[in-house]
């Protein structure tokens, strides 16, 4: 506990110093609605914040010595077994790091003793090779990181007048999104749309999907405060959206819905039982999520419900349909409805290209007729609720583009629509204590960053939209 408090103190000092040495950066945009608060650029803080939240991050470093090999480097940072083999393959075959030289270094980042990332820095290179594990046995991604890339935290407050998309477009897109600071070329437009889409998706389709109906609950005059994280590429003067760290949606009609961050390990679903993930909670530690999304496609239309017997449209005879078909345009993203591990990812006859995922509590879901699979996933990959696992298609026995969605509990088919879907796990015991301890610290930190008192919901919410206690 003492070390945590120490960390927090160090972080606050760093915060204060950064705050003093940086000028606020205000941004005014015209139009029907405007930014209400300054945008502050706060580079260098992400790592510090993550350090507090993730509790322990351990970096093991090794340097190539005379006669040293890649294998020796990996071993000396604790990388063994399958991870060792994957790292060798990726460094040599995929990333083209074919020979190590004296002075090259390797860093292995562990979060709570789970390998999260491996970074290799060639002594003369201007950047590093990165292999991401995110706690899983198999790498999830790998790439070259130019030296100057870094992550940036920003706090923004948006006033909603019509749509969330518009609010983001007018109030959250950073001025340094593009090299010219303006949207001039087609590439600029693509960057802008990608930024807004990423932001909106995270806010509306992920964080607040259960708490706020963005078609009916949103009123002019609502405001939303967001602490977000961006990737910054000064070399190409580019900024991309990464994720939302915290958000508070303040309803004009009263009430507030909050998403408070907590970094933790999920239950024993990942192949090796752990991963560090960012999850969001209400103030009381209740999860913002339920265990399963309502459906695996956005705006899906039920084209064939679950039934014990029906006339099969292709086979022409009566056969039970133990799943729900959602019609959606070819290529629509298919989301995994809950956290889990991919167990099947193959062409399976009638259901065409199919992905199956094993979840907690004896649940399993399947998604059929896919046109294609998401990149960087395979059998054994850990996927999080809302991750894209494939794209709508019409493979197998199918009359048109749709996703066949099925759910099993303890090996037997259940109707996903009538199954009582359990809420995702709330924070418990030590995690809850720590969450409660860090909440006021985080909020005062955010206030400092934003140069204002950030909104805090009253202890007893009277908002009818607030379902946090259910």
**How far apart (Å, rounded) are the C-alpha atoms in residues 62 and 39?**
39
Applying CB under 5 A, does 264 fall inside the site for Zn ion? Answer: no
- Closest by CA to 127, choosing from 105, 153, 152, 99, is 105
**Count residues contacting Zn ion (CB under 5 A)?**
3
CB of 340 to Zn ion, least distance (A): 20
CB of 99 to Zn ion, least distance (A): 52
Our CB check for Zn ion shows the closer of 323 and 393 to be 323
CB of 160 to Zn ion, least distance (A): 38
3 state SS of 87: helix
Q: Which of residues 364-383 bind Zn ion (CB under 5 A)?
A: none
Phi, psi dihedral angles at 400 (to 5 degrees): 180, 170
Our CB check for Zn ion shows the closer of 261 and 323 to be 323
Residue range at the interface with Zn ion (CB under 5 A); choices 77-85, 87-95, 317-325, 383-391: 317-325
**How far apart (Å, rounded) are the C-alpha atoms in residues 45 and 12?**
10
Q: Which of residues 401-430 bind Zn ion (CB under 5 A)?
A: 404
The sign one gets for the Cα dihedral 295, 301, 307, 310 is negative
Sheet holding 127-132, edge to edge: 57-63, 105-111, 114-121, 127-132, 141-146
Q: Which of residues 5-24 bind Zn ion (CB under 5 A)?
A: none
Applying CB under 5 A, does 37 fall inside the site for Zn ion? Answer: no
Give the residue, chosen from 37, 325, 443, 466, that forms a contact with Zn ion under the rule CB under 5 A: 325
Our CB check for Zn ion shows the closer of 320 and 436 to be 320
CB of 325 to Zn ion, least distance (A): 4
Q: Which of residues 383-402 bind Zn ion (CB under 5 A)?
A: none
List residues bridging with 365 in a β-sheet: 357, 407
**How far lies 304's CA from each of 318, 411, 412, in Å?**
14, 22, 20
Residue range at the interface with Zn ion (CB under 5 A); choices 74-82, 132-140, 285-293, 315-323: 315-323
List residues bridging with 121 in a β-sheet: 105
Applying CB under 5 A, does 339 fall inside the site for Zn ion? Answer: no
| Beta-strand runs (E) in 32-124 | 42-43, 57-63, 105-111, 114-121
- Closest by CA to 392, choosing from 321, 347, 339, 327, is 327
Sheet holding 333-335, edge to edge: 333-335, 388-391, 372-373
Our CB check for Zn ion shows the closer of 211 and 325 to be 325
**How far apart (Å, rounded) are the C-alpha atoms in residues 163 and 224?**
12
CB of 198 to Zn ion, least distance (A): 31
Applying CB under 5 A, does 55 fall inside the site for Zn ion? Answer: no
CB of 412 to Zn ion, least distance (A): 17
CB of 363 to Zn ion, least distance (A): 18
Our CB check for Zn ion shows the closer of 16 and 329 to be 329
Contact residues for Zn ion, defined by CB under 5 A: 323, 325, 404
């Amino acid at each position: 506990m003492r070390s945590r408090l120490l960390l927090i103190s160090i972080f606050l000092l760093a915060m204060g110093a950064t705050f003093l040495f940086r000028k606020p950066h205000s941004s005014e945009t015209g139009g029907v609605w405007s930014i209400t608060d300054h945008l502050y650029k706060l580079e260098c803080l992400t790592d510090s914040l993550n350090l507090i939240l993730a509790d322990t991050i351990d970096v093991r470093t090794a340097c190539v010595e005379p006669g040293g090999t890649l294998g020796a480097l990996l071993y000396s940072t604790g990388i063994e077994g399958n991870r060792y083999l994957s790292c060798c393959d990726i460094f040599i075959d995929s990333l083209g790091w074919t020979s190590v030289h004296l002075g090259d270094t390797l860093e292995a980042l562990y979060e709570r003793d789970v390998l999260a990332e491996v970074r290799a820095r060639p002594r003369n290179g201007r950047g590093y090779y990165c292999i991401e594990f995110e706690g899983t046995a198999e790498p999830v991604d790998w790439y070259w990181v130019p030296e100057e890339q870094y992550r940036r935290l920003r706090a923004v407050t948006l006033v909603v007048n019509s749509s969330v998309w518009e609010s983001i477009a007018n109030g959250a897109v950073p001025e340094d999104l593009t090299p010219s600071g303006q949207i001039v070329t087609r590439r600029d437009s693509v960057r802008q749309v990608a930024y807004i889409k990423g932001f909106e998706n995270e806010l509306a389709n992920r964080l607040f999907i259960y708490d706020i109906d963005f078609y009916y609950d949103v009123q002019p005059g609502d405001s939303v405060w967001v602490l977000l994280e961006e990737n910054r590429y000064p070399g190409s003067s580019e900024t991309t959206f990464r994720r939302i760290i915290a958000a508070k949606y303040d309803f004009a009609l009263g009430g507030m819905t909050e998403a408070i961050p907590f970094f933790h390990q999920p239950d024993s679903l990942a192949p090796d039982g752990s991963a560090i993930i960012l999850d969001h909670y209400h103030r009381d530690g209740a999860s913002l999520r339920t265990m399963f999304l309502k459906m695996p496609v956005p705006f899906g239309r039920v084209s064939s419900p679950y039934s014990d017997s029906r006339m099969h449209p292709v086979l022409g005879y009566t056969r039970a349909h133990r799943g729900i078909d959602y019609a959606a345009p070819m290529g629509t993203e298919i989301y995994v409805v809950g956290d889990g591990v991919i167990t099947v990812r193959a062409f399976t006859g009638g259901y065409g290209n199919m992905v199956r995922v094993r979840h907690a509590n004896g649940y399993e879901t399947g998604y059929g007729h896919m046109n294609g699979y998401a990149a960087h996933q395979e059998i054994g990959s850990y996927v999080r609720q809302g991750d894209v696992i494939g794209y709508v298609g019409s493979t197998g026995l199918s009359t048109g583009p749709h996703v066949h969605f099925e759910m099993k509990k303890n090996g037997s088919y259940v109707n996903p629509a009538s199954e009582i879907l359990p809420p995702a796990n709330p924070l418990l015991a030590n995690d809850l204590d720590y969450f409660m301890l860090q909440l006021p610290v985080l909020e005062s930190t955010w206030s400092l960053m934003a140069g204002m008192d950030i909104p805090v919901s009253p202890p007893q919410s009277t908002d009818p939209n607030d379902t946090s206690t259910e």
